[in-house]
Homo-oligomer: A and B are copies of this chain.
Amino acid sequence: MCQLLGMNCNVPTDICFSFDGFSKRGGETGDHRDGFGIAFFEDKGVKLFLDSKPTIDSPIAEYIKTHPIHSLNVIAHIRKATQGKITLENCHPFIRQMWKKNWIFAHNGNLEHLVPTSNGYYSAIGDTDSETAFCDMLNRLYGEFGNQEPPIEILARKIRNISHEISTFGSFNYLLSNGEFLFCHCSTKLTYIVRQAPFSNAHLIDEDITVDFSLVTTSQDRVAVIATEPLTDNEIWTDIHPGELLIFNQGQPFPARY
């Protein structure tokens, strides 16, 4: 299996604190050693960093930790291979383009015997169930809506339905973003926290680091952090229910759960 980390905010925020703890699980406090990746939206553009090395040995991971990148939507992934070789093309997150936007996707779970129900433009480059599922989702969305992106409510409903169908093949926890919304689907395990004023201290589980968010935020800031397992031990994380698609926008769930 793998682990997921996502962030969605109302002001560009860096993810260094969360990534610090998360990256320890890539070989130190966790055994997710088969590569990692992290994608930062900057407006419509994406900075995507991938490495087939474990985070604890990767100079790119070290760069990420020491060079804050401010973003409204971030998706990170550390890999423990279930299907697919340990190669760069099998590292998450994956990137594709649809409706004049970049789409970023990372998956935790295992979809045994996944059979894509669609046949379209999008096809996997590597040999993971995850990339195959992502391409299947995009083919079905593009097949349904063509060149015109639908309103978010309609899009969300369709994504939820596709996710339920793909979930019949196995566990399908994922993070998906188009730079505006962060779609979080829980199949077995996904949890989140929304940090907003009044901000307080947070202490990492995987490393003895504490940050006082009140010193680095304004009263308007709002940041949602989503992860496979909680990253801090002195805050209350909320589990997303199995079968639920939770969508974040501007640092909070939008507009309701699907």
Contacts and interface: CB of A to CB of B under 8 A. Distances in A.
Nearest to A40: B88
Given A60-B67, A89-B102, 12 more contacts: A42-B52, A42-B88, A42-B89, A46-B50, A46-B88, A47-B49, A47-B51, A97-B122, A100-B123, A100-B124, A101-B125, A102-B125
A43 interface: yes
Contact of A88 (B43, B52, B96): B43
**Which among A67, A95, A100, A125 has the greatest number of chain B C-beta atoms within 10 A?**
A125
Q: Is the interface of A mostly helix, strand, loop or mixed?
A: mixed
A59 interface: yes
Nearest to A122: B97
A12 to B, nearest CB: 12
Contacts of A126: 44-45
A110 B162 CA distance: 42
A129 B167 CA distance: 41
A95 B48 CA distance: 11
Contacts of A63: 59-60, 63
A91 interface: yes
Interface string A19-52: 0000000000000000000000011111111111
B121 A43 contact: no
Given A45-B50, A87-B45, A88-B43, A97 B96 contact: yes
A4 to B, nearest CB: 20
Contact of A97 (B43, B45, B48, B123): B123
A142 interface: yes
Interface string A108-144: 0000000000000111111000000000000000100
